[in-house]
Amino acid sequence: MIGIGIDLVDVERFRRSLERTPSLRDRLFRPDERAYADSHADPAARYAVRFAAKEAALKALGLGLGGMAMHDIEVVRDGLGPPSLVLHDEAVEVARVAGVTRWLVTLSHTDHVAQATVVAL
């Protein structure tokens, strides 16, 4: 195991951030993530839990916020199994150097709190 990261996000606070700064959606999330979140009646929890997963991935790599672009970490779902991460651009190299060959990801959210756990293997 390379590392483990856990993160919690206050859904209402994240909703307010998205309302205040709509450009955050493009800065933090890839097109498929935005399409998935926006396909729900209340997308804020879906955005918040994906943000939590990105922060948890940074923690699993031993990085803090600013360690790489959040947009370079994509939370994907295949519809059948657990969510997973797909890395892009700088994140690919950071994970390669760290020795990461796969990720374990769990996501959970309520109307109030979003939680993600990410294990880098």
Whether residue 55 is predicted with pLDDT greater than 80 in this model: the reply is yes
Whether residue 63 is predicted with pLDDT greater than 80 in this model: the reply is yes
Whether residue 65 is predicted with pLDDT greater than 80 in this model: the reply is no
Q: How many percent of the chain have pLDDT more than 90? A: 88
**Distance from C-alpha of 18 to C-alpha of 9, rounded to nearest angstrom:** 13
The stretch 34-55 carries a mean pLDDT of 96
Domain annotation for the chain: domains and CATH numbers: 3-120 (3.90.470.20)
Whether residue 66 is predicted with pLDDT greater than 80 in this model: the reply is no
Whether residue 56 is predicted with pLDDT greater than 80 in this model: the reply is yes
Q: What is the pLDDT of residues 76-118, one digit of tens each?
A: 987 787 899 999 999 999 999 999 999 999 999 999 999 999 9
DSSP letters along 27-55, please?
HH--HHHHHHHHTSSSTHHHHHHHHHHHH
3-state secondary structure string across 79-100: CCCCCEEEECCHHHHHHHHHCC
**Distance from C-alpha of 26 to C-alpha of 23, rounded to nearest angstrom:** 6
Which of 61, 57, 60 lies closest to 71 in space, CA to CA? 57
